[in-house]
Amino acid sequence: MERKKTLSALCQAAGIDGSWGEEVDVVGITADSRQVSNGTLFVALVGQRWDGHEFVSAALLAGASAVVVRRGVPLAAKLERARLIEVSDTRVALSRLAAAFYGPTPSAFGRRVMGITGTNGKTTTTFILESILRKSGHNPGVIGTVNYRVGETVFPAPLTTPDVLLLWRLLGHMGEAGADALLMEVSSHALDQHRVHGLPFRTVGWTNLTQDHLDYHQTMRAYGEAKAKLWREVVESEGIALLNADDPSCDEMAQGARCRVWRYSLDPSSRAEVIAREAHLHIRGISARLETPAGQIQIESPLMGRFNLSNLALSVGMAVAQGLSTSDIEEGIAAMRAVPGRLEAVDPTLPFQVLVDYAHTPDALQQVLSSLRPLCPQRLIVVFGCGGDRDRTKRPQMGQIAASLSDICIVTSDNPRTEDPQQIVADIVQGFAPLQIPKKSAAALAQVRRVRSENAASFVASTLVQKTDLSEAIASITEEEWASPPSSAALPPVPRAQGYLVELDRRKAIDRAVEMADADDILLIAGKGHEDYQIVGTTRYPFDDRKIAQQALAVRWPSKQNSTAFSPSAAAGEPQSAQPQKDGEKG
């Protein structure tokens, strides 16, 4: 649909004051000078790698009807007063202009506009809420890490939260496609860059705050402050924010909220509004009774792990805040199946489990491994790496966690980007040193047998959980405690990996892990989850952990080539396209 607004009407609707002489029409808005054509309003943004003010001349030559610049920035271009709009913050201005030009939010959404932020768990929470909303008769549009979707229409997701111009165009499409609710994963980058300001959020949720994206935010305090903008600045004052009472930073994060705050907790003694009781975690999933402001809700879910119980508690709290019925909540949770790339089973018919998970932060890896440890009859094998051009400090932490909670570690490449993969692995391996984990050949690792105890694994997991700094947590375990946990002198030695292997080629790393897996083992391939690419340099190559694992299994069991689980499409190969890196991409 062709859109056109006068510059004065557009600025007035966006709350931008000024006078620009002769009236001009605006037919589009962009922050990319290469996309400017006659009648486009160009907004100059300052990014991490570029400054849009350097491209003002190019935008004018391409036919921009006007330019929006930050007040006080010197410009090389000779600008007529009628075409210059000066503002204090061009990102805030872009958000308001986009909402005024492409908005408003579809009226069908009503009060059903929901946002989830946090380091881990956002994607799973949106999938749970999507299932609940569908069971209650709604047709939600979903914006998140895996994709953007409404009904049967699915779009690829370049960012967890799209840039503000794409976001508002996407909302319009969802409204036209019949969406009557909106679920959105809201990244810290999006909040810091004002991408979602102006959206009428009525219910928001926060999963947790653990280390990630410090390459962008620099400090954990700045990272947390960015997350908290969702309920301090963005949500409507009549709304409700669901915050994780089990996170050590909850009280601080709750300060300054402009709406009502409900807390949720897995601690039965908590005074939170949503509390999980009588929880049972097993290989088939989760069962629990939740106490909520709407009464008791009994849940049965195929999701695994304590961290997913927390995601379920958040989802239930948000659904209750939305006024959905307890029966629809229970049935929606029961109806939901696997979340792509979140503890996703590659083939459930195997004598051992092969699971793919997106865990790419210290906390996420610890949560997944500690959840799998008591469910693993034999060896727990983990294949993992860390992203390049991202926070280096989390690499040795992830190495320590993997070595503390698995039997065999295979260290490989994740998305190395422009960084040397050898350096990334060297950073990870530093985390093995305090635990004295030996480097071994694939043949030697294949002979490793499990020597752990569940009690000892629980000791390490609980020690980690009690610390907010995971590196400090493992370092705080003394040699005496490693040898004999303090809870009981009769316990076997505290677990640590029997050895590790470095294989920079991720396909070969997965092949070797599949080759050495045996009956009742669990093989976790961590870090990339749903991603169907690997970034080497600045190029995205087709690469899907799930398909690579399926191919490796087909080599070990040729009969698997004809099974429904095996689909050897372009899992790895030639690059599809070269794409520049974008702020906010997974580390």
Domain segments of the chain as ranges:
5-101, 103-335, 344-578
pLDDT of residue 73: 85
Single-letter residue type at 492: P
Q: Which residues contact 124 (CB under 8 A, 6 or more apart)?
A: 303, 308, 311, 339, 342
Instruction: Please list, residue by residue across 52-81, b when 16 or more beta carbons sit within 10 angstroms of its beta carbon and e when fewer do.
Output: bbebbbebbebebbbbbbbeeeeeebeeee
Distance of CA 528 to the CA centre of its chain: 11
pLDDT of residue 454: 45
Name which of 227, 275, 217, 276 is nearest 255 in CA terms.
Answer: 227
pLDDT of residue 459: 41
pLDDT of residue 49: 82
Q: Which residues contact 123 (CB under 8 A, 6 or more apart)?
A: 144, 145, 146, 185, 339, 342, 358
pLDDT of residue 124: 96
Rounded to whole angstroms, the Cα distance separating 240 from 259 reads: 6
CATH architecture of the domain 103-335 equals 3-Layer(aba) Sandwich (3.40)
pLDDT of residue 205: 98
- For residue 383 the two structure tokens come to 């294949």
pLDDT of residue 451: 58
Rounded to whole angstroms, the Cα distance separating 245 from 179 reads: 32
Instruction: Give me the residues of the chain with pLDDT under 50, please.
Output: 452-494, 562-585
pLDDT of residue 1: 57
For residue range 60-115, list pLDDT tens digits in order. 999 999 999 999 888 765 565 558 899 999 999 999 999 999 988 888 999 999 99
CATH code assigned to 344-578: 3.90.190.20
Question: In what order do the strands lie in the sheet containing 140-143?
Answer: 153-156, 147-150, 140-143, 181-185, 113-117, 203-206, 240-244, 260-265, 274-282, 285-292, 295-301
Single-letter residue type at 407: D
**Domain 5-101 in CATH 1.10.10.10:** no
pLDDT of residue 337: 83
Distances (CA, A) of 394 to 210, 314, 332, 472, 531: 11, 26, 36, 12, 21
